A = this chain, B = another copy of it.
Amino acid sequence: MANILPNSERVGIPNNSLLTETPEEGRQLAMMIARHTIHQIQPDLDVLKEGRKEYATSPHLLTEAAKVVALEFQTIAAANNYWR
């Protein structure tokens, strides 16, 4: 039987807001949103764990993951007027 992630891990935007107190919180939100996108497409935890083994040791896949986070952070930073 598939080992499905709980709903809390599958929501698109945790807390349903792009606004954060600090850049650091905004960055963590970007990372979470990126991860949850993957969770929404592939909610089977066993498959995700297999994938983790592969991408976490691949410089190529780590770099691609960093691009996703960079794109999400662009959106969050703009939403927060860059915490100026």
Tell me the A residues contacting B by CB distance below 8 Å: 11-13, 16-19, 22-24, 26-28, 31, 33-34, 37-38, 40-42, 47, 50-52, 54-75, 77-79, 82-84
How far, in angstroms, from A71 to B66 measured CA to CA in the complex? 10
Point out the residues of chain B lying under 8 angstroms from A65, CB to CB. 37, 41, 63
Q: How far is the CB of A41 from chain B (nearest CB, A)?
A: 6
Point out the residues of chain B lying under 8 angstroms from A18, CB to CB. 23, 77, 82-83
B23 lies within 8 A of A37 (CB): no
A72 lies within 8 A of B70 (CB): yes
How far, in angstroms, from A83 to B33 measured CA to CA in the complex? 16
Point out the residues of chain B lying under 8 angstroms from A78, CB to CB. 77-78, 82
